[in-house]
């Protein structure tokens, strides 16, 4: 494709504002940074708005080991507009509205061509680098010329970022950008898990552990699939009120279960266990409970939560032998370039409820308040506007 970019900054570095994470668990610092031009297969995008997912909070807190990288620009749920493109970029041009997605889709490898999974064999196993095709090379520098690390190939807590085309999806201009932003990670992950991974069918019973945006989006996906009973489990009772907008039929507060295990309560509520359970917190102990909450013979558990230390999980082998199954999923089993436009269509047809996920909106400079809101369990998604009109 011929290049049609007319950005005055094309081919040059851009100076802009970013929220830089300098030290694990410490407030992000708004700094002026330099964003280099995109190289081959890369696109530089102007972020319109971004939001905070729990995965950002998890990585923000990691203070040792290979995953602890500072200074770093976190953020991976966002929507932007193409500012300029590098060599060999097909299908994107200046002015396109795009979603960056942390999970890659090269479109060329055996797995990208198969409908079996969304695990891009070419790229998905490697998530330590800064840039997808250039290893530790970074496109960000701070005011003293030091490299700043990328995060999950997106880094959206900045006015401009550089993203590989394997992590970029072009979307319709028709969807409001704040709603589109939700589809960049959390909501797509939850809806996709119910739709693609579990393949929830009409009349089935579902238990969802953890009612953040991911868990509530699983409920939204299960509701769209016609699930008859959707049980939400959370320690925070405020989430039950929020959950009513997403098709939950029942709630369980683990602190009120007395001597009984959550799985026992769920089995009683469903006459033997749910057809599908989803772990949306990132706790190994909760995953075991989710697993034994399912029906013997056919129950299926889907793990979506990401724990800080990738802790081993423990399942009694006989519970597995009884015909239950368990699997995990990144990005809800969705192939971003194929499936995000389908979710956008569902929203535009008023089938998919995205509006209720946005509980707060702030200016980008107030980003540290968004961390507090999510950590304190007061928000689902807080939209951070780069340039609020």
Cβ 224 to Zn ion shortest distance, Å: 21
165 binds, among ligand NAD, Zn ion, none (CB under 5 to 8 A by kind): none
> Can you tell me which of 222, 233, 383, 386 binds ligand NAD, judged by CB under 6 A?
233
User: Interaction with ligand NAD in 309-348: which residues (CB under 6 A)?
Assistant: 329-331
Secondary element (H or E) of residue 327:
strand 325-328
* CA separation for the pair 247, 279 (Å, rounded): 18
Q: Is 210 in the site for ligand NAD (CB under 6 A)?
A: yes
Burial class (CB in 10 A: 0-12, 13-18, 19+), 202: exposed
Pairing mode, if any, of strands 205-209 and 229-233?
Answer: parallel
Cβ 222 to ligand NAD shortest distance, Å: 15
Q: Is 254 in the site for ligand NAD (CB under 6 A)?
A: yes
Return residues touching Zn ion (CB under 5 A).
53, 55, 106, 109, 112, 120, 122, 185
| 49 beta partners | 79, 385
Q: Is 222 in the site for ligand NAD (CB under 6 A)?
A: no
Query: Which among 78-86, 145-153, 175-183, 229-237 is the span making contact with ligand NAD, rule CB under 6 A?
Result: 229-237
- HSE-up of 242 (CA within 13 Å, CB side)? 25
Query: Cα–Cα distances in Å, from 122 out to 107, 147, 190, 194, 337?
Result: 10, 26, 24, 26, 16
Helix (H, G, I), strand (E, B) or coil at 147: strand
224 binds, among Zn ion, ligand NAD, none (CB under 5 to 8 A by kind): none
* CA separation for the pair 208, 246 (Å, rounded): 12
331 binds, among ligand NAD, Zn ion, none (CB under 5 to 8 A by kind): ligand NAD
Among 137, 140, 45, CA closest to 84? 45
239 binds, among Zn ion, ligand NAD, none (CB under 5 to 8 A by kind): ligand NAD
User: Interaction with ligand NAD in 85-144: which residues (CB under 6 A)?
Assistant: none
Name the residue nearer to ligand NAD (CB basis): 53 or 73.
53
Q: Is 306 in the site for ligand NAD (CB under 6 A)?
A: yes
112 binds, among ligand NAD, Zn ion, none (CB under 5 to 8 A by kind): Zn ion
User: Interaction with ligand NAD in 24-43: which residues (CB under 6 A)?
Assistant: none
Q: Which residue has the tokens 């369980």?
A: 252
Among 388, 340, 383, CA closest to 358? 383
* CA separation for the pair 101, 113 (Å, rounded): 18
Q: Is 212 in the site for ligand NAD (CB under 6 A)?
A: yes
- Interface residues toward ligand NAD, by CB under 6 A: 53-55, 58, 185-186, 189, 209-215, 233-236, 239, 254, 280-283, 286, 304-306, 329-331, 374, 377
């Amino acid at each position: 494709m011929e290049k049609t970019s007319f950005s005055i900054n094309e081919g040059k570095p851009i100076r802009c504002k970013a929220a830089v994470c300098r030290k694990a668990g410490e407030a992000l610092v708004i700094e002026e940074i330099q964003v280099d031009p995109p190289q081959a297969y890369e696109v530089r995008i102007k972020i319109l708005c971004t939001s905070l997912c729990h995965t950002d909070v998890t990585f923000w807190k990691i203070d040792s080991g290979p995953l602890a990288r500072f200074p770093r620009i976190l953020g991976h749920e966002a929507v932007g507009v193409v500012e300029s493109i590098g060599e060999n970029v097909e299908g994107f041009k200046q002015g396109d509205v795009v979603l960056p997605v942390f999970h890659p889709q090269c479109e060329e490898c055996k797995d990208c061509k198969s409908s079996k999974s969304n695990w891009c064999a070419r790229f998905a196993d490697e998530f330590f680098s800064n840039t997808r095709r250039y290893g530790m090379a970074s496109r960000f520098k701070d005011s003293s010329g030091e490299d700043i690390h990328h995060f999950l190939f997106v880094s959206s807590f900045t006015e401009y970022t550089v993203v590989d085309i394997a992590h970029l999806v072009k979307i319709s201009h028709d969807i409001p950008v704040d709603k589109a932003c939700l589809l960049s990670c959390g909501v797509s992950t939850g809806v996709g898990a119910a739709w693609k991974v579990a393949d929830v069918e009409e009349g089935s019973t579902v238990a969802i552990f953890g009612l953040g945006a991911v868990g509530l989006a699983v409920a939204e996906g299960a509701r769209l699939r016609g699930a008859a009973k959707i049980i939400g489990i959370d320690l925070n009772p405020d989430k039950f009120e929020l959950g009513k907008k997403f098709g939950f039929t029942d709630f369980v507060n683990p602190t009120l279960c007395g001597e009984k295990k959550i799985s026992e309560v769920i089995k009683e509520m469903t006459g033997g266990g749910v057809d599908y359970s989803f772990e949306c917190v990132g706790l190994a102990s909760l995953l075991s409970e989710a697993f034994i909450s399912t029906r013997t013979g056919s129950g299926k558990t889907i793990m979506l939560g990401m724990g800080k230390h990738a802790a081993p999980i423990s399942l009694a082998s006989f519970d597995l032998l009884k015909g239950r199954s368990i699997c995990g999923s990144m990005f809800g089993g969705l192939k971003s370039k194929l499936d995000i436009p389908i979710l956008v269509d569902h929203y535009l047809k008023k089938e998919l409820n995205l509006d209720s996920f946005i509980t707060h909106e702030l200016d980008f400079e107030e980003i540290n308040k968004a961390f507090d809101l999510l950590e304190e369990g007061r928000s689902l998604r807080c939209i951070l506007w780069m340039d609020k009109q």
